[in-house]
């Protein structure tokens, strides 16, 4: 199968890091996921101990996750923090943002800053402080700046105008803070991973990134 986890497992097998026929063999597994049609960095574990530690670090918010998105218009204000409560409709696979808590809703917090505005679109960096379903897409749309190409929460007319059929959203930077012990993953403490070339950034903007790695 041509899936992300299948490719990761094949990579580990070819490098000799995983023997699927071994006794009590652990199959490499994903530690986090991103939405369908969203690109970028994901984390995978090659052994059970790494998976346990990484899941704990994600739960305790010891990993900073940064996304880039192209939004319609200009966010107001140009930078800030979006706070609300997200309620998921499982049947529609869609979420709704509420200002006040309600039964079944979970708090969602996203920091954002506008990096550039050009030709009616804005390039925005978002930092997730919580990890809710469709969080960035729903909160940016609720704030009046929907993601370009988002068929679920976006502006249909503008999506057609640009011919975009998938949300312009990319997980482009991860930073491992690890203020507490990380065991076999301590070597990651303070490290950062960054994708410099994102298709929709090159297509619609002329922004140059300077990131200290």
**Domain contains 43:** yes
Residues near 146 by beta carbon (within 8 Å), at least 6 away in sequence: 71, 72, 137, 140, 153, 154, 155
Q: Which of 35, 197, 206, 212 is catalytic?
A: 35
**Domain contains 141:** yes
H/E segment holding residue 157: helix 156-162
Q: Is a pLDDT exceeding 50 seen at residue 45?
A: yes
Residue 30, number of CB atoms within 10 A of its CB: 15
Residues 96, 101, 107, 112, Cα dihedral to 10°: 70
**Mean pLDDT value across residues 153-179:** 96
**Mean pLDDT value across residues 148-160:** 95
**Domain contains 74:** yes
Per-residue b or e along 108-135, where b marks 16 or more CB atoms closer than 10 Å to that residue's CB:
bebebebbebeeebbbbbbbbbeebbbb
pTM, whole model, 2 decimals? Answer: 0.91
Q: What's the total number of domains in the chain?
A: 1
Look up the CATH number of the domain holding residue 92. 3.30.2350.10
**Mean pLDDT value across residues 34-62:** 94
Residue 203: the pLDDT is 96
**Domain contains 26:** no
**Could you write out the DSSP letters of every residue in 158-181?**
HHHHHT--S--EEEEEEEE---S-
Rounded Cα gap, residues 83 and 161, in angstroms: 30
Chain segment 18-32, per-residue pLDDT in tens? 888 876 778 999 999
Residue 213: the pLDDT is 45
Catalytic residue list contains 181: no
Which residue has tokens 């200002």?
Answer: 99
**Domain contains 136:** yes
Percent of the chain with pLDDT over 70: 97
User: Whole domain around residue 36: which residue ranges?
Assistant: 31-200
Percent of the chain with pLDDT over 90: 80
Residues β-bridged to residue 84: 108
Q: Shortest CA distance to 169 belongs to which of 137, 133, 132, 207?
A: 137
Q: Is a pLDDT exceeding 70 seen at residue 204?
A: yes
Q: Can the peptide bond before residue 103 be classed as cis, meaning omega within 30 degrees of 0? A: no
Mean pLDDT of the chain: 93
**Domain contains 190:** yes
Least confident range of 43-57, 158-172, 198-212: 198-212
Rounded Cα gap, residues 138 and 154, in angstroms: 9
**Domain contains 137:** yes
Q: Is a pLDDT exceeding 80 seen at residue 210?
A: no
Q: Is a pLDDT exceeding 90 seen at residue 184?
A: yes
**Domain contains 38:** yes
């Amino acid at each position: 199968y041509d899936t992300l986890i299948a490719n990761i497992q094949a990579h580990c097998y070819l490098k000799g890091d995983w023997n699927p026929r071994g006794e009590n063999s652990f199959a490499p597994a994903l530690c986090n996921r991103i939405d369908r049609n969203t690109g970028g960095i994901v984390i995978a574990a090659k052994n059970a101990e790494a998976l346990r530690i990484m899941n704990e670090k994600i739960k305790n918010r010891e990993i900073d996750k940064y996304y880039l998105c192209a939004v319609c218009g200009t966010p107001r204000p140009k930078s800030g923090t979006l706070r609300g409560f997200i309620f998921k409709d499982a049947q529609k696979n869609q979420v709704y943002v509420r200002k006040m808590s309600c039964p079944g809703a979970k708090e969602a917090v996203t920091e954002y800053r506008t990096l550039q505005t050009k030709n009616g679109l804005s390039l925005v960096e978002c930092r997730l402080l919580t990890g809710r379903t469709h969080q960035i897409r729903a909160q940016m749309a609720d704030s009046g700046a929907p993601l370009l190409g988002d068929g679920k929460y976006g502006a249909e007319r503008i999506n057609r105008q640009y011919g975009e059929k998938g949300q312009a959203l990319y997980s482009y930077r991860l930073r491992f803070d690890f203020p507490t012990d990380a065991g076999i993953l301590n070597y990651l403490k303070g490290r950062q991973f960054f994708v410099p070339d994102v298709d929709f950034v090159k297509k619609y903007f002329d922004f140059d990134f300077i990131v200290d790695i």
